[in-house]
Amino acid sequence: MSTDAIVLLKQDHKEIRNLFRKFNHAGESATQRQGQIVDQILEALTVHTYLENECMYPRVQELLPDLTQDVLESYEEHHVADVLCAELAALRPDSDRFHAKTTVLIESVTHHMDEEEQDWFPKVREGLGRKQLQDLGAEMIELKKKAPRSPAQPSALKKTVDALIR
């Protein structure tokens, strides 16, 4: 199995996009089903964000300082998504704002993943090369074992809280 960091992150993106598609096709009236899908979305995003925030972004920033601006923009985009995730976790699926908030989350995360895949990952692949990407991926596989799974866990919101109180 490849441990290439970019391959692993793209697999996560694919899984997240599938969940987004499921939500969009669930039908507005399928409140309970939508609630279940959003639970899965929140779990997948919490784990993925943790791996990028704790491993991929800081390592890339360290090894490829030219990409610092991209990394900083990514932290901000994740921050917006984190806030929406935290709010959604506290909202009942039959609440007025549940569907709208999920739609905005889906739009903003889709934009962010598109940017990573089309623009950022190619630059990182060029800058780091095979061996470093495999080492990074191996590190992420280890990290995944202790990753938070819900936005309510303190380690999941650490970056968001840090940004708010800074």
Shortest distance, position 27 Cβ to Fe ion, whole Å: 28
Cα 165 from Cα 163, distance rounded (Å): 6
Cα 42 from Cα 26, distance rounded (Å): 17
Span from 29-37, 61-69, 111-119, 150-158 in contact with Fe ion (CB under 5 A)? 111-119
Cα 164 from Cα 122, distance rounded (Å): 31
Site size toward Fe ion, by CB under 5 A = 2
The answer to whether 78 and 53 are in contact (CB under 8 A) is: yes
* Residue 70 touching Fe ion (CB under 5 A): no
Span from 47-55, 93-101, 102-110, 141-149 in contact with Fe ion (CB under 5 A)? 47-55
Shortest distance, position 29 Cβ to Fe ion, whole Å: 31
- CB hemisphere CA count around 152 (13 angstroms): 5
Shortest distance, position 117 Cβ to Fe ion, whole Å: 8
Cα 36 from Cα 154, distance rounded (Å): 22
Residue 26 structure tokens: 């669930």
Span from 103-111, 112-120, 126-134, 144-152 in contact with Fe ion (CB under 5 A)? 112-120
Span from 39-47, 48-56, 87-95, 143-151 in contact with Fe ion (CB under 5 A)? 48-56
Nearest to 41 by CA among 88, 97, 90: 88
Which listed residue (4, 6, 52, 105) binds Fe ion by CB under 5 A?
52
Instruction: Give the binding site for Fe ion (CB under 5 A).
Output: 52, 116
